[in-house]
Amino acid sequence: MPDGGTLVLASAFNPKLNFVEIRISDTGCGISKESLPHIFELFATKTEGKGLGLGLSTVFGIVDRHKGSIEVRSEIGQGAAFIIRVPVGPKGPV
């Protein structure tokens, strides 16, 4: 968010489905519909061409190894929201 904005981090436990949900959202520039299918790919370029594109692929790998899921909702000019769901066992994340 180069011009400032709001970043929100929220979490919740769903006892019926036994998972933890982590939601990260911002009021930034958003992600184009064309880029959305590729954001978790290794070395995917960002809209401003900054960075190496390792961050989201790393997040995807961690969530996948914990048998979780990650969902992205975004529109240009409307920011983005990432919803991570990870199953929980008796002693914590699976």
Residue 94 CA to residue 89 CA, distance in Å, equals 5
Per-residue pLDDT, averaged over 64-89, amounts to 93
What's the pTM? 0.82
In eight-state DSSP terms, residue 53 is S
Q: Quick: pLDDT tens for 14-73.
A: 988 899 999 999 999 888 898 889 889 887 755 555 565 678 899 999 999 999 999 999
Contact of 15 with 90, CB cutoff 8 Å: no
User: Considering only CA atoms, which of 12, 20, 13 is closest in space to residue 87?
Assistant: 20
Beta bridge partners of 84: 22, 70
Beta bridge partners of 71: 83
Q: CB atoms < 10 A from the CB of 32, how many?
A: 11
